Amino acid sequence: MSPSILLERPRALTKLLCNLIFTRDMGGGPRTFPGGVNKWQWKRMHEKRAREKERRLLEQEKQLYQARIRSQVRAKLAGKPDPYSNPDLSMGHGPMSPTDHIKALASRFMKEGAEDLWNEDDGPLKSPPPRGPNERPGFVGPNGRRGSIRSPMDLRKLISEGRENVNFTNPSGNYINKRNYSGQSWRSFRRNESSESEDDDEDYGPLNESPKPSARKLAGNRRDVNWKIPKISGQRPRFSKDENSDSGSGSDFEGESVKYFAGNSRWPRLSVGGGGEEENEGMRDRDRDRGRERGVRKVGSSASLGKYDVKIKKRVPLQSLEEEVDFPLQVELIRRQLSKKSLMDENGGEKRGEESILSQKRFDECGISPLTVKALSAAGYVQMTRVQEATLSACLEGKDALVKAKTGTGKSAAFLLPAIETVLKASSNSTIQRVPPIYVLILCPTRELASQLAAEANAMLKYHDGVCVQTLVGGTRFKDDQKRLESDPCQIIVATPGRLLDHIENKSSLSLRLMGLKMLVLDEADHLLDLGFRKDVEKIVDCLPRQRQSLLFSATVPKEVRRISQLVLKREHAFIDTVGLGCVETPAKIRQSCLIASHELHFQIVHHLLKEHISQTPDYKVIVFCTTGMVTSLMCLLLREMKMNVRELHSRKPQLYRTRISDEFRESKRLILVSSDVSARGMNYPDVTLVTQIGIPSDREQYIHRLGRTGREGKEGEGILLLAPWEEYFLVEIRDLPLEKVPLPHLDPNIKLKMEDSLAKIDTSVKESAYHAWLGYYNSIREIGRDKTTLVKLANQFCQSIGLQKPPALFRKTAIKMGLKDIPGIRIRK
Ligand SMILES: Nc1ncnc2c1ncn2[C@@H]1O[C@H](COP(=O)(O)OP(=O)(O)OP(=O)(O)O)[C@@H](O)[C@H]1O
């Protein structure tokens, strides 16, 4: 439309402007529907048309039916033979007799499984009122109830004549399914209901059941309980909270469920709460009465059987139930059942000696280089582990993969072997290049893990001359990295994201070398794709060639990670889960227990647990995980004061020290490592006998990884989680894991005094830093960090437990950042 036309035709201009404004306001795309309507109006219009069409068709059917009855009555009055009783007519294509017509309708609608054909307007919404002895349907008696002049056709008889397996009425006049009816009282029938009723398809609602509940209504009324799809037999689809339900009533309900009853004439109301059989019966009567009072329509639509429509049971629409029940919770329940089962299986397997992580397949059968096989044999690897067997062929084929396998099952070798093969293949294919390409990049979250992976890769490369690995991790001099990279060109790099990004952003030659990348591996992928690392990982991935193979490995793959893994993986990647859906994610041979005690007892309890473990385990090797670096430091100092053989490892320590301690702990026995989360993931310290976690881990995944430092390679292990009472909520997150709550041990009062003495000897600055770190850690945990007042109170409890008289002051800036500035109990530094 040219501008001049618009100026000449102001209406066209207005319309165009309206369209523009309208389109923007609605946030939709351009108007593409005829008649100037938007998509919603268009949709509504079509829905309305469809409804009208349906109504018209039903009206036609009704008229046809009435016409048949009229002609039959007329013929009868005129003394003529019933035109529809003519067998020629009824057998042929002519109009049917009313009886046959009803029979036909009945067979169409009343057969088993045909309930799906019933539309929402079918049948009476309320059960027919109880009839007096002289009352008949259709006749309005003096009491206002309907009766009938003529005896109604006995539809039940009609149906039962033609069909064996149809519905019968229960003693209260409601229909039940024949196969469920045994002539008992309705209640006792339900009680004695056998496993026959286990078939969901046989679960029907009562005669006067309202149609399917409105999704919105149900959702609106839903409370945070475990909803269960109820098993209902010949009764109103009833959901009730399990606590009061009569388990002997044969209702088949387990756990909590929703009670759902006809609260208004059309839609059932959903309520949560107790209510046994009696209450429900009473409810039903009340609903019936209410329906009567309001003159609820008692006959169905024209498509129904009119007053003979004694349909009483409408199958609970399974689809709608699936929508209404809390689906994630249903999944969770199933998961838990599977967990239990798998745990039992695993325990059974244990007994049969099936707990080994090894598979039957040998490395020399899987098509990897013989030199690698030789190196593996030298390292004592002959057979593959299960995860290696499950992943190796897909990885060697060049597929992208996301792999989940339990801790300590050999994931590192599972990606290092294909990585080495990739280098060998690429090296043999390439010509001499000016900048030696890096073929494999392995990202991992910690420096110690990077060193460990590089060491493992080097062991596998023992007989491959010319292939080498380098690490790029923080805590070392950047210039040294650069020199190393130049003097000793490598094909495999193991890096932590931060340091690698430094190199990429510094425009070192590394960026150029990464252009030849063939394979990217993310070890501890879920952690690397977590908020802390994701940005760096995204930036790194942006600098890598798109034509590459990507492998993601972890012992935990939460749903969000599965989704965002697409950042790195190709769409058609393989997801290899060797844990199995619904199976316990922790190794079966780790005994897990939990202790709940107030903060002031924590140090004593830790001391007691360690002493006990040492006395029982001559070759003990223990890791004590603390929430933060400074709390780790304090714990280590305290245990050292208590004359225990401890080392500390956390990010506050210089890298050289960290490496030394890590190596020492790997090689040693009879040593306790007090560590922050730097040792939580991937670290393979052999034969750790006990892992203790003090305070809540940052999340469920972190609990699993920390615990996984023990019980590796299918060996036995022990894990103890020590929580303060207010931290107990965390147990819900790990409820599917086999954790046993144990009572508090008896604590020696002398140890308490000794502990207090030892605490007094520790420098106040360490305790103050521990308080600040504690506050920062828990402030970042959603569940408690939101309630600042409570958080500060709890922090002050912790403060007292570490022997500080009053909480140390915070810098104003820090307090503001943490949202704690005006919270009572917080002291601000002047
Ligand atoms: N094929 C094999 N045969 C024998 N031992 C193996 C084999 N593969 C791996 N291992 C050993 O199993 C142990 C655990 O391996 P690894 O550290 O790779 O586990 P992981 O699954 O990566 O654990 P995490 O989830 O904690 O990172 C190591 O000691 C390793 O040497």
325 or 436, higher pLDDT: 436
Band the pLDDT of 290: cuts 50, 70, 90. Answer: very low
Which residue owns the Cα nearest ligand 1 atom 31?
A: 410
Cα 660 to Cα 649: distance, rounded to the nearest angstrom: 10
The ipTM (two decimal places) reads: 0.99
pLDDT digits (tens, 9 = 90+) for 75-104: 888 877 766 655 444 444 445 566 666 666
HEC assignment per residue over 27-82: CCCCCCCHHHCCHHHHHHHHHHHHHHHHHHHHHHHHHHHHHHHHHHHHHHHCCCCC
Which residue owns the Cα nearest ligand 1 atom 8?
A: 410
Average pLDDT for residues 268-289, to the nearest whole number?
A: 34
At 356 the pLDDT is 82
Quick one: CA dihedral 94, 98, 103, 105, positive or negative? positive
Most confident of 9-13, 432-436, 556-560: 556-560
Cα 207 to Cα 639: distance, rounded to the nearest angstrom: 72
Residues of the chain above pLDDT 70, percent: 63
**Residue-wise over 47-86: b if at least 16 C-beta within 10 A, else e?**
eeeeeeeeeeebeeeeeebeebeeebeeeeeeeeeebbee
Beta bridge partners of residue 401, listed in sequence order: 551, 574
At 171 the pLDDT is 35
Q: Is residue 151 pLDDT above 60, yes or no?
A: no
Atom index in ligand 1 nearest the CA of residue 405 equals: 21
Question: What token pair was written down for 251?
Answer: 């209702």
Which residue owns the Cα nearest ligand 1 atom 3?
A: 381
For residue 784, the CA-to-ligand 1 centroid distance in Å is 36
| Total H helices, total E strands in the chain | 31, 22
Cα 740 to Cα 72: distance, rounded to the nearest angstrom: 78
Helix (H, G, I), strand (E, B) or coil at 812: helix
For residue 364, the CA-to-ligand 1 centroid distance in Å is 18
Cα 650 to Cα 674: distance, rounded to the nearest angstrom: 9
Band the pLDDT of 490: cuts 50, 70, 90. Answer: very high
Q: Which of 372, 411, 521, 621 is the best mutation target for the ligand 1 pocket, counting ligand atoms within 8 Å of the beta carbon and taking the most?
A: 411
At 244 the pLDDT is 34
**How would you classify the pairing of strands 268-271 and 259-262?**
antiparallel
Cα 394 to Cα 51: distance, rounded to the nearest angstrom: 53
The model carries a pTM of: 0.62
At 489 the pLDDT is 86
Phi then psi for residue 554, to 5 deg, are -170, 160
Atom index in ligand 1 nearest the CA of residue 709 equals: 26
Atom index in ligand 1 nearest the CA of residue 683 equals: 26
Q: Is residue 727 pLDDT above 90, yes or no?
A: yes
For residue 428, the CA-to-ligand 1 centroid distance in Å is 29
For residue 606, the CA-to-ligand 1 centroid distance in Å is 29
Pocket of ligand 1 (CB under 6 A): 381, 383-385, 388, 405, 407-413, 555, 682, 684, 686, 708, 712-713
Which residue owns the Cα nearest ligand 1 atom 4?
A: 381
Helix (H, G, I), strand (E, B) or coil at 323: helix
For residue 377, the CA-to-ligand 1 centroid distance in Å is 14
The whole-chain average pLDDT of the chain stands at: 74
Average pLDDT for residues 312-320, to the nearest whole number?
A: 41
Band the pLDDT of 332: cuts 50, 70, 90. Answer: low
Which residue owns the Cα nearest ligand 1 atom 10?
A: 410
Which residue owns the Cα nearest ligand 1 atom 23?
A: 408
Atom index in ligand 1 nearest the CA of residue 387 equals: 21
pLDDT digits (tens, 9 = 90+) for 657-716: 999 999 999 999 999 999 999 999 999 999 999 999 999 999 999 999 999 999 999 999
At 326 the pLDDT is 59
**How would you classify the pairing of strands 469-472 and 440-443?**
unpaired
For residue 397, the CA-to-ligand 1 centroid distance in Å is 22
Q: Which of 381, 387, 412, 553 is the best mutation target for the ligand 1 pocket, counting ligand atoms within 8 Å of the beta carbon and taking the most?
A: 412
